[in-house]
Amino acid sequence: MTFHIGVISGDGIGPEIVTEARKVLDRIGNIFGHQFEYEDILMGGCSIDATGVPLTEEAICQAKSSDAVLMGSIGGNTSTSPWYKLAPELRPEAGLLKLRKALNLFANLRPAYLYEELKEACPLREDIIGSGFDMMIMRELTGGLYFGARKTEPVDGVMTAEDTLTYNENEIRRIAVKGFEIARKRRNKVTSVDKANVLDSSRLWRKIVEEVAKDYPEVSYEHMLVDNCAMQLVKDPKQFDVILTENMFGDILSDEASMVTGSIGMLSSASLNDTKFGLYEPSGGSAPDIAGQGIANPIATILSAAMMLRYSFDLDQEADAVEEAVKQVLKDGYRTIDIMPQEADKKAAVTQVGTALMGDLICERIH
Ligand code: NAD
Ligand code: IPM
Ligand code: MN
């Protein structure tokens, strides 16, 4: 079969990690007899440099007409890059938010899984890690603070900035349904995370989650306040199966969850709507501090491509093959710098490799 994939390489390490995910897709195509056709789409800082805006209408059309989009990352150093001297709606991140909204990608899945081989890269104590952990962060992606009205203006002579956090019940219901559906295919547990002791939007969130939960009697659920959740993630990450939460909380908690898996470079993600279409990207950013050095970890992007095979193309066997190859490469002792063991004596037992070699080694292990 032929699949048409839009490719947003983006900025910083984006092009480096996307190259490796494409290598892996091509290897899958050769072995399993599929044709992957790629079309480059400009977004982020590179689009600003080429067109003056972070996302053109043409780019949105290209994404819409693809079967799925593979993305690296966008943005630059927010303190030093000239992109951050532009008006907020002309900065790189505005392109990503516009694309998520235009494609109605309300459900963001971020699986945080600790590979047996990466226990030594995990900053938690051995007794906390135990037999490891495996959670799915379900982040609402097209509502909340990211998309509410905002303004900065003087109020009574004092410069004042305002961002608004709005959710309606339909937006909450559709992500809650996705969360419970996913939990049913996993370990039947949902932890809904909110700040219902303070926010009205969180109180509505709780009410709707409780309504949805009634349709899933086999799934157990609990509510947890976000500050407690941030703490529980490092105290006892094993307790979590599906974490269901709103946009901003999900952004922050997923970066935290990534670090307990060893590195943000391991955390894949899928952004989905109600169709088979999806945008697949690592959860981390453009990593300007290491861009251009050939040392970024491409695994999150490669695992995001595996999610594309599974969720958008229904190619489960092919997705399994990619995930198995990642496991095998770690078992064989290959590590990018971000997932090297923390202790010196353990470093000697593994081999440090760069971005491209890691991609090649994973390809070699796909059968
Ligand atoms: P970041 O995720 O880019 O980097 C944080 C730290 O993690 C850095 O030390 C970086 O080197 C490291 N890191 C990230 N990905 C890695 C990888 N694959 N391998 C090894 N190390 C990795 O976050 P930041 O520095 O806060 O943001 C930089 C830029 O990225 C900003 O412009 C931000 O807006 C943007 N951003 C984009 C996305 C996206 O495109 N989806 C996501 C997050 C941040
Ligand atoms: C992410 C990123 C984005 C977000 C930024 C770049 C707008 O941090 O995908 O996690 O906050 O959603
Ligand atoms: Mn983020």
Is the pLDDT at 344 greater than 90, yes or no? no
Is the predicted pLDDT of residue 342 greater than 90, yes or no?
no
pLDDT at residue 159, as a whole number: 98
**Residues comprising the binding site?**
100, 110, 139, 227, 251, 255, 285-297
Whether pLDDT at 95 is above 90 = yes
**Domain 1-111+262-367 matches domain 123-260 at the CATH topology level:** yes
* E-assigned strand segments in 61-211: 68-73, 107-113, 134-140, 150-155, 158-163, 189-194
Mean pLDDT, range 187-216, rounded to an integer: 98
Torsional sign, CA 47, 52, 58, 63: positive
Catalytic residue flag (residue 345): no
Rg, C-alpha atoms of the chain: 20
Other Cβ atoms within 10 Å of 301 Cβ, number: 33
Q: Is 194 annotated in the active site?
A: no
pLDDT of 19 > 90? The answer is yes
Percent of the chain exceeding pLDDT 70 equals 100
CATH of domain 123-260: 3.40.718.10
The domain spans of the chain are 1-111+262-367, 123-260
Report yes or no: 270 and 308 within 8 Å, Cβ to Cβ: yes
CA distance 174 to 24: 33
Q: What pLDDT digit, counting tens, does each position of 25-47 carry?
A: 999 999 999 999 999 999 999 99
Tell me, what's the pLDDT at 333?
97
**Residue 150 in contact with residue 161, Cβ under 8 Å?**
yes
Given 26, 134, 255, 360, the catalytic residue? 255
| Arithmetic mean of pLDDT, 336-341 | 95
Q: Tell me if the domain spanning 1-111+262-367 has CATH number 3.40.1080.10.
A: no
β pairing state of 278-280 and 334-335: unpaired
In this predicted structure, the answer to whether residue 343 has a pLDDT above a threshold of 90 is no
List of residues 6+ apart from 78 with CB closer than 8 A: 84
Ligand 1 atom having least distance to the Cα of 81: 32
Question: Is the CB of residue 96 below 6 angstroms from any atom belonging to ligand 2?
Answer: yes
| Residue 250 burial (CB count, 10 A) | 25
Q: Select from 252, 244, 253 the least CA-distant residue to 173.
A: 244
pLDDT band at 180 (very low <50, low <70, confident <90, very high): very high
Residue 110 identity: R
| pLDDT at residue 191 tops 90 | yes
**162 CA → ligand 1 middle, Å:** 26
* Residue 108 reports pLDDT greater than 90: yes
3-state class (DSSP) for residue 211 = helix
How much of the chain, in percent, has pLDDT values that exceed 90?
A: 96
Nearest residue (CA) to ligand 2, atom 1: 283
Q: What residue's CA is closest to ligand 2, atom 12?
A: 251
Instruction: Report which bound ligand comes closest to the CA of 97.
Output: 2
Q: Is the pLDDT score of 78 beyond 90?
A: yes
Q: Which of 40, 163, 215, 227 is catalytic?
A: 227
Tens digits of residue pLDDT in 273-309: 999 999 999 999 999 999 999 999 999 999 999 999 9
Identity at 120, one-letter amino acid code: E
**Among candidates 271, 242, 212, 11, which has minimal Cα distance to 134?**
242
Mean pLDDT across 11-30: 98
Please say if 84 is a catalytic residue: no
Residue scoring higher pLDDT (343 or 323): 323
**Once rounded to an integer, what is the mean pLDDT over residues 136-163?**
98
Say how many Å lie between the CA of residue 286 and the centre of ligand 1: 5
Report ipTM (2 d.p.): 0.99
CA of 230 to the centre of ligand 1 (A): 20
Helix, strand, coil percent values for the chain (each to nearest 5)? 45, 20, 35
Q: Is 59 helix (H, G, I), strand (E, B) or coil?
A: helix
How many of the other CB atoms lie within 10 Å of CB of 290? 19
User: How much is the pLDDT for 295?
Assistant: 98
